[in-house]
Amino acid sequence: MSFINEEAIHSTLDDAANTEPARQREALAKARSGERLTLSDVAALLSIRDADLREEVHAAAREVKRAIYGNRLVFFAPLYLTNHCVNNCLYCSFRRDNRALVRATLTQDEIRHEVEILLDQGHKRLLLVAGEHPTQSALDYIGESIETVYSVRRGNNNIRRVNINAAPMSTEDFRTLKSFGIGTYQCFQETYHRETYAHVHPSGPKHDYDWRVEVMDRAMEAGIDDVGIGVLFGLADYRFEILAMLEHVRHLEERFDGVGPHTISIPRLEPAMNAPLDSTNSPWTLADEDFKTAVAVLRLAIPYTGMILSTRERPELRRELFDYGISQISAGSRTDPGGYHRDTHEYAEQFQLGDHRPVREVVRDVLSLGYIPSFCTACYRSGRTGDRFMSLAKSANIGAICTPNALATFEEYLKDFGDEDMRRIAERIVEEEIARMPEPIGRKTREMIERTRRGETDVYI
Ligand code: SAM
Ligand code: SF4
């Protein structure tokens, strides 16, 4: 199967190299009107160098984001299960040849301990992350770990959605993974550029480009209909990666009745211990300004796909990117197995983080920027996945469900973890949000908040 046609992508990018401003504006107008963009439109947007015109791209992305996702930002935390890995990715500290890394795989007791800490920070949604290893991250172990995560209780709090980022599997194994009750299955192609891919993944099962690029076909065949794709920006030309990722989206939509990926992730290459390749020596390091435009263009090209931003990025840049189309963020993250309960981290982490703030501080910051921190996990539990989620998103009805859920789950967070100061800022933002809602949604939302204040937990529609 070859749905990534490199030649076609290169020729689209070559054609766009000297795009006239009139053509760039035409593509921008099309994006604003909500029309689906062609690869050539996207290449035209990515060819914009003029700062004012770029600002217009950012503004258009902001409008689209607000119209579809409203003001909410969904919070999650990664939970690293193991840093054992048989692959040798040039950019990752978990690579097999990194002998200095302290290797660890969490026991079920340790997982329980980590989850307790994350629950005490207010998290309700976790992303389990694992290196690729036949025994240390075997499917049985993943299943047992998911069961453990869901079983932990702290007062009224529990983890209500477990997503997973792990190596590609066979269709049969994906059926088993689905039976464990996962939300989204994530796996990033890293780079869609075949030659670069082979170079940066010199050995191990990950060396096989096709096995990886077809991973979501197998996951969706197995009935996992919320999948998350991504590229690791900084390995190859970001414009190539964006067009290729859009080809991947189109392929999945064509094959699975209009259902594309539920989310895309946009990690950028960060320095990692003993990793030969990083942003200081890669020829394709993505500068902040280009990264901002990349995020905005992605938002315009696939308006209905959630976009995830991790703590790899610095707080100042995160603040700006929220506005250009981010819908989910991690906060308070650790990238070493056991990192939430251990005091030393430096020899077991996957890569360096840019945002070290605790969850509470990120919540406060997000709130002061006018967003509603959301701890919602409703869709997957209400069966709104795959085509049901897509039709909800495409009818722009996401706001009628997600905003009330965001407000109710945030109220629960405030009740359990907020302080006076946070409640004061929240009150104003929440009132403004409800005032913007049409009836009966506004009334319904007030009821949900009231029920939460009276002590009900996990209130959602
Ligand atoms: N081992 C599995 C895999 O590679 O697909 C899943 C987990 S891996 C720990 C998760 C992701 O971390 C990778 O897909 C890659 O994009 C990202 N990553 C690895 N090294 C990185 C680095 N130095 N900077 C930023 N992200 C990195
Ligand atoms: Fe292993 Fe994943 Fe790191 Fe590659 S990115 S070395 S596969 S953990």
| Segment 115-170, tens digit of pLDDT | 999 999 999 999 999 999 999 999 999 999 999 999 999 998 999 999 999 999 99
Same-domain check for residues 251 and 325: yes
Reduced to 3 states (helix: H, G, I; strand: E, B; else coil), residue 301 is helix
385 has pLDDT over 90: no
The pLDDT tens digits for 232-260 are 999 999 999 999 999 999 999 999 999 99
Q: Is 91 in the pocket of ligand 2 (CB under 6 A)?
A: no
What tokens were used for 384? 């709104």
Q: Residue 361 Cα, ligand 2 centroid: separation in angstroms?
A: 30
Residue bearing the CA closest to ligand 1, atom 20 = 92
Q: Residue 132 Cα, ligand 2 centroid: separation in angstroms?
A: 7
Q: With beta carbons less than 8 A apart as the criterion, state whether 124 and 381 touch.
A: no
CA angle 170, 338, 144 (to 5 degrees): 40
Same-domain check for residues 230 and 369: yes
Same-domain check for residues 245 and 224: yes
Same-domain check for residues 23 and 114: no
For residue 384, name the pLDDT band (cuts at 50, 70, 90): confident
Q: Is 133 in the pocket of ligand 1 (CB under 6 A)?
A: no
The pLDDT tens digits for 22-45 are 999 999 999 999 899 999 999 999
What tokens were used for 256? 């699975």
Same-domain check for residues 18 and 96: no
For residue 343, name the pLDDT band (cuts at 50, 70, 90): confident
Give the residue from 356, 378, 400 where a domain finishes: 378
Q: Is 131 in the pocket of ligand 2 (CB under 6 A)?
A: yes
Q: With beta carbons less than 8 A apart as the criterion, state whether 348 and 104 touch.
A: yes
Q: Residue 421 Cα, ligand 1 centroid: separation in angstroms?
A: 37
Expressed in percent and rounded to 5, the helix, strand and coil fractions of the chain are 50, 10, 40
Q: Is 165 in the pocket of ligand 1 (CB under 6 A)?
A: yes
460 part of a folded domain:
no
For residue 392, name the pLDDT band (cuts at 50, 70, 90): confident
Residue of higher predicted confidence among 401 and 99: 99
Q: Residue 255 Cα, ligand 2 centroid: separation in angstroms?
A: 28
207 has pLDDT over 60: yes
Residue bearing the CA closest to ligand 1, atom 3 = 167
Percent of residues, the chain, with pLDDT higher than 90: 88
459 part of a folded domain:
no
Give the residue from 333, 355, 378 where a domain finishes: 378
The pLDDT, as a whole number, for residue 345 is 65
Q: Residue 10 Cα, ligand 1 centroid: separation in angstroms?
A: 26
Distance, in Å, from the CA atom of 27 to the CA atom of 42, rounded to the nearest integer, reads 7
State the average pLDDT over residues 170-193.
Answer: 98
Residue bearing the CA closest to ligand 2, atom 4 = 89
Q: How many CA atoms lie within 13 A of 374 on its CB side?
A: 26
Count of domains for the chain: 3
Same-domain check for residues 290 and 428: no
B/e letters for 217-227, b = 16+ CB within 10 Å, e = fewer, are: bbbbebebbbb
Same-domain check for residues 169 and 52: no
Which of 89, 93, 269 has most ligand 2 atoms within 8 Å of its beta carbon, as the pocket-test mutant?
A: 89
Closest ligand 2 atom to 204 CA: 7
Q: With beta carbons less than 8 A apart as the criterion, state whether 192 and 238 touch.
A: no
Q: Is 190 in the pocket of ligand 2 (CB under 6 A)?
A: no
Give the residue from 42, 66, 90 where a domain finishes: 66
Mean per-residue pLDDT of the chain: 94
The single-letter DSSP state of residue 236 is S
The pTM assigned to this predicted structure is: 0.96
427 part of a folded domain:
yes
Q: Residue 83 Cα, ligand 2 centroid: separation in angstroms?
A: 8
Distance, in Å, from the CA atom of 313 to the CA atom of 296, rounded to the nearest integer, reads 16
284 has pLDDT over 80: yes
Reduced to 3 states (helix: H, G, I; strand: E, B; else coil), residue 174 is helix
Residue bearing the CA closest to ligand 2, atom 5 = 92
Same-domain check for residues 329 and 224: yes
Distance, in Å, from the CA atom of 178 to the CA atom of 385, rounded to the nearest integer, reads 13
Domain with 41 in it:
6-66
Which of 84, 85, 89, 92 has most ligand 1 atoms within 8 Å of its beta carbon, as the pocket-test mutant?
A: 92
Q: How many CA atoms lie within 13 A of 64 on its CB side?
A: 33
Same-domain check for residues 308 and 324: yes
Task: Kindly report the length of the chain.
Answer: 461
198 part of a folded domain:
yes
The phi and psi torsions of 222 (rounded to 5 degrees) equal -80, 0
Same-domain check for residues 170 and 105: yes
Please report, for the domain that includes residue 233, its CATH number.
Answer: 3.20.20.70
The pLDDT tens digits for 214-226 are 999 999 999 999 9
Element holding 82 (H helix, E strand): strand 72-82
State the average pLDDT over residues 320-332.
Answer: 95
Distance, in Å, from the CA atom of 17 to the CA atom of 23, rounded to the nearest integer, reads 12
Distance, in Å, from the CA atom of 61 to the CA atom of 293, rounded to the nearest integer, reads 9
429 part of a folded domain:
yes
Q: Is 448 in the pocket of ligand 2 (CB under 6 A)?
A: no
Reduced to 3 states (helix: H, G, I; strand: E, B; else coil), residue 385 is coil
Ligand at shortest distance from the CA of 277: 1
Same-domain check for residues 235 and 284: yes
Residue of 311, 417, 337 lying closest to 77 (CA atoms): 311
333 has pLDDT over 80: yes
Residue type, 390: M
The pLDDT, as a whole number, for residue 1 is 54
338 part of a folded domain:
yes
Is 36 buried (19+), middle (13-18) or exposed (0-12) by CB count in 10 A?
exposed
For residue 386, name the pLDDT band (cuts at 50, 70, 90): confident
Residue bearing the CA closest to ligand 2, atom 7 = 87
Is 383 buried (19+), middle (13-18) or exposed (0-12) by CB count in 10 A?
exposed
Same-domain check for residues 38 and 151: no
State the average pLDDT over residues 309-319.
Answer: 95
Q: Residue 450 Cα, ligand 2 centroid: separation in angstroms?
A: 45
Distance, in Å, from the CA atom of 2 to the CA atom of 170, rounded to the nearest integer, reads 19
The pLDDT, as a whole number, for residue 240 is 98
Q: Is 213 in the pocket of ligand 2 (CB under 6 A)?
A: no
Distance, in Å, from the CA atom of 421 to the CA atom of 21, rounded to the nearest integer, reads 48
The pLDDT, as a whole number, for residue 232 is 98
438 part of a folded domain:
yes
Q: Is 206 in the pocket of ligand 2 (CB under 6 A)?
A: yes
The pLDDT, as a whole number, for residue 249 is 98
Residue of 185, 119, 155 lying closest to 332 (CA atoms): 119
State the average pLDDT over residues 167-189.
Answer: 98
Q: Residue 79 Cα, ligand 2 centroid: separation in angstroms?
A: 15
347 has pLDDT over 70: no
Distance, in Å, from the CA atom of 132 to the CA atom of 128, rounded to the nearest integer, reads 13
Separation of CA 262 from chain center: 9
56: Cβ contacts below 8 Å, ≥ 6 apart: 28
φ/ψ bin of 360: left (φ > 0), alpha (ψ from -120 to 50), beta (otherwise): alpha
The single-letter DSSP state of residue 289 is H
